[in-house]
Amino acid sequence: MPVTSIDKDVQSLTLTVHAEFPVSVARLWDAYLDPRQIDKFWGPVEYPATFTRHDAAAGGYSNYHMTSPEGEQFHGYWHWQEVVDQKFFEVIDGFAHNDGSPNAKLPTSRLVFTFDPLPEGTKLTVTGTYDSAADLEQVVAMGMIDGTRSAMSQIEQVLIDLRDYAQNFATEAELLNDTQVRVSRLVRGTRQQVWDAHHDPELVKRWQYGPDGWKMTKCELAPGVGESYLLWWAPDDGSKGFGFSGKILERVEGHYEASTEQLEGGEEMLGSGVPGSVNQLTFTSTTGGTLVTTLITYRDKAARDTMLATGMADGMEASYARLESIL
């Protein structure tokens, strides 16, 4: 059992978890910053978690929910305050409504995750500070201590699996539910390099030019929130091409961007009336490079399946492989 103690201090209004793991700080750090990994242990065994957003940068947000054995969902959020690479990170942790908005009727806490190297592993200390003694007692009564022990009991298996994740640079598409797909790709490059490669038109043209025999003919990127973009590809034989258009909904420079996306001119491939999506793009620094995570939300299951059937993940993999050769 990795948890060595859980201490409640009513004087300082804190709940502190002490745990030790037989792995390096870097491996444990990546497990917390990678949404594919933290999914596997943030919730108790009977209430697995799903992170739909996980920014891992100051000013960012994480949105997650835990699912009960009966299928009921319990939502929460993190508001990231500070991140010092492989040292500590601090978040405001709170309960949320089903739409992800904070539930002000339930307690929040300030969580600090501290990673300290040991001779044969890492000591993790998680300190939660509450606004009042009543808030502290409420979360304890809700099962916070037992839930934490249950959740952390799963980390050791995740850490065993982490090596495979760290070495897997291929694009991975995960079905989160009927309308959402999470696409992940670890890119060998710094977060700033990878961010710039998504936002510099000349760079985008060099790695997103499509399959062999195609080229990108338009690359009109949106300069800011509320602005529109248009990307267009055409085959070398001069026949009709296709593109994607949309607007930027939110942008946190260097690590997060949300936008709408609508297929243009793809009727021959997918038929008319192809529905659009909302794409949330997150850039996370890890020891292997930069993890690029795209959460795609479609209108319904049919739209999701239609787009997946186009070979979308394979196309993204080809593009990211080109990006790595550039970086």
Interval 156-165: pLDDT, tens: 777 776 555 5
Do 103 and 228 fall into the same domain? no
| Torsion angle of C-alpha atoms 317, 224, 290, 217, degrees rounded to 10 | 30
> DSSP 3-state assignment of 255?
coil
pLDDT digits (tens, 9 = 90+) for 242-263: 889 999 999 999 999 999 999 8
| pLDDT over 80 at 167, yes or no | no
* Mean pLDDT computed over 172-177: 91
Mean pLDDT computed over 67-71: 94
Residue 140 has a pLDDT of: 92
Asked if 235 and 210 sit in the same domain, the reply is yes
Coil/strand/helix, residue 313:
helix
Average confidence (pLDDT) over 145-149: 89
Place of tokens 């999914």: 39
- Check if the beta carbon of residue 243 is closer than 8 Å to that of residue 264: yes
Does residue 269 share a domain with residue 159? Answer: no
The Cα 249–Cα 256 span in angstroms is 11
Question: What element of type H or E holds 148?
Answer: helix 144-152
Q: What is the pLDDT of residues 289-315, one digit of tens each?
A: 999 999 999 999 988 888 888 888 888
Domain identity same for 45 and 128: yes
Per the CB < 8 A criterion, the answer to whether 260 and 278 are in contact is yes
Domain count, the chain: 2
pLDDT for res 266: 62
The per-residue pLDDT for 213 is 83
Whether the model clears a pTM of 0.85, i.e. scores above it, the answer is: yes
Residue 221 main-chain phi, psi, to 5 deg: -90, 150
Q: Indicate if the alpha-carbon torsion angle 30, 183, 283, 80 is positive or negative.
A: negative
Pairing label, strands 214-220, 3-9: unpaired
- CA 124 centroid distance within chain: 22
Give the pLDDT of residue 3.
87
Q: Are residues 161 and 198 in the same domain?
A: no
Q: What is the pLDDT of residue 35?
A: 92
Q: Answer with the one of 167, 185, 209 that is the final residue of a domain.
A: 167
Looking at the fold, whether 193 and 132 belong to one and the same domain comes out as no
* pLDDT higher than 90, residue 151: no
What was the pLDDT predicted at 274? 62
Distance CA 282, CA 271 (A): 30
Statement: residue 195 has pLDDT above 70:
yes
- Residue 288 sits in a domain whose CATH number is 3.30.530.20
Residues 6+ apart with CB under 8 A from 15: 6, 7, 8, 9, 109, 127, 128, 130, 136, 139, 140, 144, 145
**Structure tokens that stand for 99 in this block:** 């739409």
Q: What is the mean pLDDT of residues 111-133?
A: 96
Q: What is the mean pLDDT of residues 79-88?
A: 96
pLDDT at residue 1, as a whole number:
54
- Asked if residue 270 has pLDDT above 90, the reply is no
Domain interval for residue 129: 3-167
- Which helix (H) or strand (E) segment is 232 a member of? strand 228-235
Strands 73-84 and 88-96: antiparallel
Residue with the two structure tokens 């957003």: 53
More confident residue, 84 or 268: 84
Provide CB contacts within 8 A for 273, sequence distance 6+.
none
Give the residue-averaged pLDDT of 32-61. 92
pLDDT at 251: 95
Once rounded to an integer, what is the mean pLDDT over residues 114-126? 95
Q: Are 150 and 11 found together in one domain?
A: yes
Q: For residues 9 and 153, which has the higher predicted lDDT (pLDDT)?
A: 9
Residue 65 has pLDDT above 80, yes or no: yes
Type of residue found at 241 = G
Q: Which residue, of 151, 167, 183, is where some domain finishes? A: 167
Q: Are residues 143 and 190 in the same domain?
A: no
Same-domain check for residues 267 and 125: no
**Element housing 206 (H / E):** helix 201-207
Q: Label residue 268 by pLDDT band (50, 70, 90).
A: low
**Residue 116 sits in the same domain as residue 14:** yes
Domain boundary among 146, 167, 188: 167
Alpha helices in 5-59 (DSSP H): 25-33, 35-38
Query: How does pLDDT run across 222-248, given as a tens digit for each residue?
Result: 999 999 999 999 988 878 888 899 999
- Whether residues 149 and 32 fall in one domain: yes
Same domain, 104 and 223: no
* Confidence at 265, pLDDT banded by 50, 70, 90: confident
With vertex at residue 36, the alpha carbon angle to CA 325 and CA 256, rounded to the nearest 5 degrees, is 65
Name the burial class of residue 181, with classes exposed (0-12), middle (13-18) and buried (19+) by CB atoms within 10 angstroms of its CB: buried
If one compares 100 and 116, the residue with the highest pLDDT of the two is: 116
- The rounded Cα 264 to chain-centroid distance in angstroms is 27
